[in-house]
Chains A and B, each alone.
Chain A
Amino acid sequence: MATADTPAGHEGHHEHVHYTSTGLENRKIAIWALIGSECMLFASLISTYLIYKGRSKVGPFPHEWSCKTSNVVGKTAELVAGCAPADVLKPILDIPVTSQSTFVLLMSSLAMVLALAAVENKGHPLPAGAGWWDRCLASSKFWLMATAVMGATFIGYQSYEFTSFVHEGLTIKTNLFGSSFFTLTGFHGAHVSVGVLWLLTLFAIDVKRGLKGKNDVLLVDICALYWHFVDVVWIAIFTLIYLIQ
C-alpha cells in the first residue's frame, strides 16, 4: 500500500491529468464565468442606449426623419417636406444591410459548431463511400477559416455602416444616439475582432500541428463558447437597437 501513497509511482504513464472536484475542465468553467460577467457588461451598454433613445436634441436619428435647421422630427418623409432638400436627415439605420451582416454572423456560429465537431471527431475514420461533403465536415481547418472569414465579413459590414453614417452626418460626437450607438456596436465589434484573432490563431495551430485530442477540443470549445456568446449578443442588439423603434 505504501507505494500507492507515493504520487511518484503514478508518473510517466501518459500526459499528467490533474484531479478536479467536478471532473470538468478549469478553462471551461472560467470561460462560462467570463460569459456571465459579459452579460452584465452588455446589459449596461444596452441599458444606456435604450435610456438615451429619443433624448438626442439634434439629428440624425435612428428611425426618424429630421431637419438640420429646425426641430422637426417625424416618422415619415412628408413631415420634413418643408425642409430644404439638402437639410433633410434620413433615418440612419439601414435594415437591409444590417440584416445581411446578421445573416453572416448567424452562419458563422453554424461554421463554428462544425469546426468543433470536426476537432472532436478527429481520429474517427470517415465512413466507406464518404462523399465530398463528409470530407468537408471532417476538416477543422476549413470550418475554422470559414468562421474567421465570416467574422471578418461582419466587421467589414460594420466598417461600411460606420463610414456611411459618418458621411450622413452621424459621428460619436454628434448626439446621444451617436455616442451610445457607436460605443455599443463598437464594443460588440471589438469582441468580434478579438474572436477573429482567436480563430486565426487556432487555424494557425491547426495548420502547424493539427488540432487533435482532448486538450485541443477544449481549446476550440472555449473559443466556440466565446464566439457564440458574441453572436447571441448581436441577436439581442439587432432586435433591440435596429428593429424595435
Chain B
Amino acid sequence: MSDHNAAAHDHVEHPTWKQYKWVGFWLLVITAIEVWVYYTPFKESKLFAPTLLLMSAVKFGVVVFYYMHLKYDHPLFKRLFAMGLGIAICTMFALLFLFGALKIGG
C-alpha cells in the first residue's frame, strides 16, 4: 500500500466469458446442491448447517474473487474488504455467543 505502484497504471487483464461462464455454472451447481440437500434426510444431521455454510462460503468467495476481480486487482482492495468482512464476522460471532444463540459444545 505504501509503494507508489507505477505498474498499476497499466490495465489489469480481467477474465472473459470463457471463465465467467464456468463461475456462473458452479454457482448454479452449488445452489442446486444446497437446495437439494434441504429436501434429503441429511437435513436432520448435525453436519447439515456446517456443510451449507461451507458451500455458501465457496459461492461467496467465487463471486468476490472472480466477479469482483479481487483475484486480479490491486491488493489494497483485498485489504479494505477483508478488514470490513473480518471485523463484521468476528462481531457477529461474539454477539451470537453473548446472546446464547451459539454455544461451545453445541
Do any CB atoms of chain A lie under 8 A from CB atoms of chain B in the complex?
A: yes
Q: What is A's interface to B at a CB cutoff of 8 Å?
A: 21-24, 28-29, 32-33, 35-40, 42-44, 46-47, 50-51, 53, 95, 99, 102-103, 106-107, 109-110, 112-114, 116-117, 120, 137, 224-225, 228-229, 231-232, 235-236, 238-240, 243-245
B63 / chain A contacts, CB cutoff of 8 Å: 109, 228, 231-232, 235
Check B84 for interface membership: any CB of A closer than 8 A. yes
A188 to B50, CA, bound (A): 24
Find out whether the CB atom of B101 lies under 8 angstroms from the CB atom of A36: no
Nearest A residue to B55, CB-CB: A239
Q: How many residues of B contact A (CB 8 A)?
A: 51
- Near A by CB (< 8 A), chain B positions 56-104 give 56, 59-60, 63-64, 66-68, 74, 76-77, 80-81, 83-85, 87-89, 91-92, 95-96, 99, 101
Q: Shortest beta-carbon distance, B69 to chain A, in Å?
A: 8
A112 / chain B contacts, CB cutoff of 8 Å: 67
Nearest A residue to B64, CB-CB: A232
Q: Shortest beta-carbon distance, A56 to chain B, in Å?
A: 14
A225 to B48, CA, bound (A): 31
Find out whether the CB atom of A117 lies under 8 angstroms from the CB atom of B20: yes
Find out whether the CB atom of A109 lies under 8 angstroms from the CB atom of B16: no
A62 to B10, CA, bound (A): 51
Q: Shortest beta-carbon distance, A137 to chain B, in Å?
A: 6
A137 / chain B contacts, CB cutoff of 8 Å: 17
Nearest A residue to B83, CB-CB: A36
Q: Shortest beta-carbon distance, A114 to chain B, in Å?
A: 7
Find out whether the CB atom of A43 lies under 8 angstroms from the CB atom of B91: yes
B46 / chain A contacts, CB cutoff of 8 Å: none
B35 touches which of A95, A120, A225, A228 (Cβ 8 Å): A95
- Near A by CB (< 8 A), chain B positions 1-27 give 1, 4-9, 14, 16-17, 20-21, 23-24, 27
Nearest A residue to B93, CB-CB: A47
A103 / chain B contacts, CB cutoff of 8 Å: 28, 31
Q: What is B's interface to A at a CB cutoff of 8 Å?
A: 1, 4-9, 14, 16-17, 20-21, 23-24, 27-28, 31, 34-35, 38, 43, 48-49, 52-53, 55-56, 59-60, 63-64, 66-68, 74, 76-77, 80-81, 83-85, 87-89, 91-92, 95-96, 99, 101
A interface: dominant SS = helix
Q: Shortest beta-carbon distance, B32 to chain A, in Å?
A: 8
Query: Do A236 and B92 form a contact, CB below 8 Å, given A22-B1, A53-B101, A120-B14?
Result: no
B99 / chain A contacts, CB cutoff of 8 Å: 51
Find out whether the CB atom of B91 lies under 8 angstroms from the CB atom of A40: yes
A236 / chain B contacts, CB cutoff of 8 Å: 56, 60
Find out whether the CB atom of B84 lies under 8 angstroms from the CB atom of A39: yes
Find out whether the CB atom of A238 lies under 8 angstroms from the CB atom of B56: yes
Find out whether the CB atom of A43 lies under 8 angstroms from the CB atom of B9: no
Query: Do A117 and B68 form a contact, CB below 8 Å, given A32-B80, A53-B101, A235-B63?
Result: no
Query: Do A23 and B17 form a contact, CB below 8 Å, given A103-B28, A239-B34?
Result: no
20 further A-B pairs in the complex, CB-CB below 8 A; given A44-B91, A106-B27, A238-B34: A22-B4, A32-B81, A39-B81, A39-B88, A50-B101, A99-B31, A99-B35, A106-B28, A107-B24, A112-B67, A113-B20, A113-B67, A225-B68, A228-B63, A228-B67, A235-B56, A238-B31, A243-B38, A244-B49, A244-B52
